[in-house]
Chain A
C-alpha cells in the first residue's frame, strides 16, 4: 500500500481549542467506514497556550502516524497564525480550511508586534486553495464557542468523499452520549457543511 492511497488531514491551532476532539471524531468516522486510521497528537507542556497539531491519516492500510511536510491533503486550522505556521505541510493540490480567528502569542514587550501583519493576505497568497470559515462567529451564534471544532469538521467533510454522512453521524453518536449534546453537535456540523458548498 503506497502512501498515495492515504488521506492526510492536519489539524492545527492553540492548546485548548478542541483540536483533539476534532481529530478523534474524524478518526472515528474513518473507523466506521471500515478504514484503517492512525492519529498523532500532542499532550503535556505545549498545551499550556502553545501551538498544537494533530495528524490524522486514513486509508486501507496506514503504517505510520505522522504526516510528512508537503504531504497533507487538508489543513484544518483553528487559528490564522497556526494556519500559516503549518501551511508548508500542504501538498501542491492541498486545501486549507482556516477559522477566522486571531489569538496573539504571549507578548513580552510593548514594542513587540503581537501578530503577523496581513496574515490574511499571506495565507491567500501561499495556500493552493484556501477556504475561510467563520467558525468562531458561527459557534457564538449557536451559543457555544466549543462548537468551532465540529463546524470546521463539517466544512472538511464537504471535500472528503472517502467518508459518508452516516460515518460522521456514527462518530458523533459514539463520542457524545447525551442526546441533547449530540443534537447540538449535529447541528453545528451541518453549519460547517453549509458554510462550504461543494465546488
Chain B
C-alpha cells in the first residue's frame, strides 16, 4: 500500500515494521515528530526522556533484555548522549538498537550545524543514511536486524530535508518480534579496562565484517551505471539533487556510510573517467575516498557549509544552474520576519523587566532565547542545553563591578529538567550567589508543546507523575526560592532585586502556562485610545506582534491580541486598556 508520509513519520513506520519494542528520545528539531508518530502504534512502548543520554541508557537496558529499541534526538542531542553512545559501541547490543541523529544543515532551528557522520566514525558505530521518505522507512526497518547481525548500535543519520520531506512510502507488514531474552555476559557488558580491551578487538572485527557487507551490497550501496565521463559518489539528501541533475550518469549511492565500502568505491572509480563526491556539510566521504587513493573532487566545487539544493548541485556537475532567476527583488527592501514570542506569552514581561534593569542574562535553549532579539535584547548568551546556570555562576564571580551581582541565569522548565539540575548543584555546593530564573510554562514549547517531567502527562496524553521544579531545587539544597506571576511586573522587579542582593544561590520560578496551551483563556483584545497616546513607543518596545505602527502611530491588531495587558501596563498615558468584560 502506498501512503504519503513525512520523513520522520516514515522512520516511525519503519521502526514499527522492524518490530521495535521501545522508543525514547528528547524533542529537538528536526527529530521531534518521529516519537510523536511512533506513539500511536500501541505495540510499542514510547516515552519522552528527560534528556538524550537517559533515553539512550534506557534503550541500552531494553536492548540487553533482548528487545529492539529506537532513540531519537537532534544532532546536538547526540553530544549529550555521546558518553553512553561511544561505550555502547564497545558493548554491542542484545536486541537491535537504532540511534537517530537528525542533523540540521543551514541551522534552521539549531545553534550549530555539526556533521554527526564524524561521530559514527569516532564511536565506531555502523551508520546508515536514507535519501527520502521511502528509504527512511525501509532503512529504519532493516536497521534493527543490521544492529543485531553486527552486534553494534546503528546510527540512523538524517538531515532536516529528509526529516521534513514528505513523499510516497510503500507500507509493508511488520516483522514478527524476535524472541530475544536477557543474557548475563559480564565481559561484554561491564566495560572494566580488561574487558574493554577485549571488546576493542570485537569492534574492529565487526567493522571489517560490515565493510565486507558494504562492498558487496547492492541494496545498501547501489551502483547506477550510466553514461558520460563523470561518476558521482553521494549519500543522503544530496543523492536526490544528483539524480535530478544527471538522470543518466553513473552514480554510487551510499546508504551504509560507516564503515565505508572502499573496495566498492575503488571499483566504481575505475569504471569512470572522473569522480565527483556530492555531499552536504563536511567532506566526510571525500576525505576517506581520497585517502584511499581515489582522485576525486567535491568540496572545492561547492560551499563548504550550509545546505545543498538543486542549483548548487547543478553548478557542481554541469557548471551552471538550469533554472535562471528572472524576477529581481534587488530594488526592494523586504523587512525580515524573524520568529518572535507569541502574543500573550509570559516570557515577554520577564524580559521587558530584565532589559529595563540592564541585567546580564545568561540564557538557554527554548522559545525564550528569542528574548535576545530586538526590541527586548535582554539575553547575552545562549550556549547549550542547561548552560545558563553554570555560565551565570562564572560570570557572576568574575564579572567585576557593574556585572557581579547583576547576573541572572534564565532557563525554561523543560531545559531545566533536561540538564539544569547538575548545574544548580554546582552553584549550591560551591557557594555561588548567582540568581537563577526558571521560566515554567509547563511544556516544551519551541518544538511544539511536548510534555516533560513537569507537565503531568505522557506522550500519549495519559496522566503521568508531575514533578515540581521548585521541589527539585529545594531537593538539591536551594534555600531561597520564590514563585512569581510573570505578568505582575512590579512584583517580579521587587523579588528580582531582593534575590540579586542575597548572598547565596536563589531561584525565582516565573510560572504561567504556555499560550499555545488550549486551556489558556484569553482576555479580550486591548483597546487603544489614540487621543491619549503620545506616540512614545514604549508599547512597541515590548515587542509584540499584535501592535504595529501605521503612519508613526501604534495600532492594535485585535485578531492577534489576546489581552495579556503587558502593553497596557507599560503605557504611561493609560492609552491602552483591557476592556471591561461584557455582561453575560
Q: Which residues of A contact B (CB under 8 A)?
A: 1-3, 14-15, 23-24, 27-28, 31, 36-51, 63-66, 68-71, 81-82, 84-85, 87-88, 90-92, 104-116, 122, 126-128
Q: Tell me the complex Cα distance, A69–B557, Å.
A: 33
Tell whether, in the assembled complex, residue B337 and residue A47 are in contact, meaning their CB atoms are under 8 Å apart. no
Contact of B243 among A63, A81, A91 (CB under 8 A): A63
Q: Tell me, rounded to whole Å, the shortest Cβ–Cβ distance linking B342 to chain A.
A: 7
Tell whether, in the assembled complex, residue B324 and residue A70 are in contact, meaning their CB atoms are under 8 Å apart. yes
Known: A48-B341, A91-B323, A110-B540. Contact between A41 and B446, CB under 8 A? no
Tell whether, in the assembled complex, residue B339 and residue A45 are in contact, meaning their CB atoms are under 8 Å apart. yes
Tell whether, in the assembled complex, residue A114 and residue B550 are in contact, meaning their CB atoms are under 8 Å apart. yes
Q: Which B residues are CB-close (under 8 A) to A81?
A: 334-335, 337
Q: Tell me the complex Cα distance, A106–B329, Å.
A: 22
Stretch of B25-33, B471-479, B491-499 on the interface side: B25-33
**B408-447 near A? 1/0 per residue, CB < 8 Å:** 0000000000000000000000000000000000000011
Q: Which B residues are CB-close (under 8 A) to A2?
A: 247
Tell whether, in the assembled complex, residue B332 and residue A116 are in contact, meaning their CB atoms are under 8 Å apart. yes
Residue of B540, B543, B547 with highest tally of chain A CB at under 10 A: B540
Interface residues of B: mostly helix, strand, loop or mixed? Answer: loop
Q: Tell me, rounded to whole Å, the shortest Cβ–Cβ distance linking A12 to chain B.
A: 11
Tell whether, in the assembled complex, residue A85 and residue B32 are in contact, meaning their CB atoms are under 8 Å apart. no
Tell whether, in the assembled complex, residue A49 and residue B337 are in contact, meaning their CB atoms are under 8 Å apart. yes
Q: Which residue of B lies closest to A50 (CB)?
A: B339
The total number of A-B Cβ pairs within 8 Å is 191
Q: Which residue of A lies closest to B104 (CB)?
A: A44
Stretch of B41-49, B158-166, B573-581 on the interface side: B158-166
Contact of A108 among B166, B535, B543 (CB under 8 A): B543
Tell whether, in the assembled complex, residue A49 and residue B375 are in contact, meaning their CB atoms are under 8 Å apart. no
B325 beta carbon closer than 8 Å to chain A:
yes
Tell whether, in the assembled complex, residue A63 and residue B325 are in contact, meaning their CB atoms are under 8 Å apart. no
Contact of B166 among A27, A48, A107 (CB under 8 A): A27
Q: Tell me the complex Cα distance, A45–B370, Å.
A: 10
Tell whether, in the assembled complex, residue B334 and residue A116 are in contact, meaning their CB atoms are under 8 Å apart. yes
Q: Which B residues are CB-close (under 8 A) to A104?
A: 545, 548, 557
Tell whether, in the assembled complex, residue B335 and residue A105 are in contact, meaning their CB atoms are under 8 Å apart. yes
Q: Which residues of B contact A (CB under 8 A)?
A: 2, 4, 6, 29-30, 32-33, 108-109, 132, 161, 164-168, 237, 240-241, 243-244, 247, 309-311, 321-329, 332-342, 367, 370, 374-375, 446-448, 535-537, 540-541, 543-545, 547-550, 552, 554, 557
Q: Tell me the complex Cα distance, A174–B70, Å.
A: 30
Tell whether, in the assembled complex, residue A71 and residue B323 are in contact, meaning their CB atoms are under 8 Å apart. yes
Q: Which A residues are CB-close (under 8 A) to B335?
A: 81, 105, 115-116
Q: Tell me the complex Cα distance, A161–B466, Å.
A: 54
17 contacts across the A-B interface (CB closer than 8 A):
A1-B247, A37-B4, A38-B166, A38-B167, A43-B109, A44-B447, A48-B370, A51-B337, A63-B247, A71-B310, A81-B334, A106-B338, A110-B549, A110-B552, A110-B554, A115-B548, A116-B335
Q: Tell me, rounded to whole Å, the shortest Cβ–Cβ distance linking B564 to chain A.
A: 15
Q: Tell me, rounded to whole Å, the shortest Cβ–Cβ distance linking A198 to chain B.
A: 25
Q: Which residue of A lies closest to B247 (CB)?
A: A1
Q: Which B residues are CB-close (under 8 A) to A36?
A: 168
Q: Tell me, rounded to whole Å, the shortest Cβ–Cβ distance linking B246 to chain A.
A: 10
Contact of A84 among B32, B332, B541, B550 (CB under 8 A): B332
Q: Tell me, rounded to whole Å, the shortest Cβ–Cβ distance linking B522 to chain A.
A: 15
Q: Which A residues are CB-close (under 8 A) to B537?
A: 109-111
Q: Tell me the complex Cα distance, A37–B3, Å.
A: 11
Q: Tell me the complex Cα distance, A109–B524, Å.
A: 25
Known: A85-B334, A110-B549. Contact between A38 and B375, CB under 8 A? no
Tell whether, in the assembled complex, residue B108 and residue A49 are in contact, meaning their CB atoms are under 8 Å apart. no
Q: Which B residues are CB-close (under 8 A) to A85?
A: 329, 334, 337
Among all A-B residue pairs, the 10 with the closest Cβ atoms: A110-B537, A44-B29, A44-B109, A64-B240, A48-B339, A39-B166, A50-B339, A63-B244, A104-B548, A71-B323
Tell whether, in the assembled complex, residue A38 and residue B329 are in contact, meaning their CB atoms are under 8 Å apart. no
Q: Which residue of A lies closest to B164 (CB)?
A: A41
Tell whether, in the assembled complex, residue B310 and residue A64 are in contact, meaning their CB atoms are under 8 Å apart. yes
Tell whether, in the assembled complex, residue A43 and residue B554 are in contact, meaning their CB atoms are under 8 Å apart. no
Tell whether, in the assembled complex, residue B327 and residue A87 are in contact, meaning their CB atoms are under 8 Å apart. yes
Q: Which residue of A lies closest to B33 (CB)?
A: A43
Tell whether, in the assembled complex, residue B240 and residue A88 are in contact, meaning their CB atoms are under 8 Å apart. no
Q: Which B residues are CB-close (under 8 A) to A122?
A: 332
Contact of B339 among A24, A27, A47 (CB under 8 A): A47
Tell whether, in the assembled complex, residue A69 and residue B311 are in contact, meaning their CB atoms are under 8 Å apart. yes
Q: Which residue of B lies closest to A67 (CB)?
A: B310
Q: Which residue of B lies closest to A136 (CB)?
A: B559
Q: Which residue of A lies closest to B314 (CB)?
A: A68
Tell whether, in the assembled complex, residue A126 and residue B324 are in contact, meaning their CB atoms are under 8 Å apart. no
Q: Tell me the complex Cα distance, A132–B243, Å.
A: 37
Q: Tell me the complex Cα distance, A127–B243, Å.
A: 31
Q: Which B residues are CB-close (under 8 A) to A90?
A: 327
Q: Which residue of A lies closest to B332 (CB)?
A: A122
Contact of B337 among A14, A39, A64, A92 (CB under 8 A): A14
Known: A49-B342, A110-B554. Contact between A44 and B2, CB under 8 A? no
Q: Tell me the complex Cα distance, A189–B326, Å.
A: 32
Tell whether, in the assembled complex, residue A108 and residue B323 are in contact, meaning their CB atoms are under 8 Å apart. no
Q: Tell me the complex Cα distance, A68–B324, Å.
A: 9
Q: Tell me the complex Cα distance, A36–B32, Å.
A: 26
Q: Which residue of B lies closest to A71 (CB)?
A: B323
Q: Which B residues are CB-close (under 8 A) to A1?
A: 247
Q: Which B residues are CB-close (under 8 A) to A69?
A: 311, 323, 325
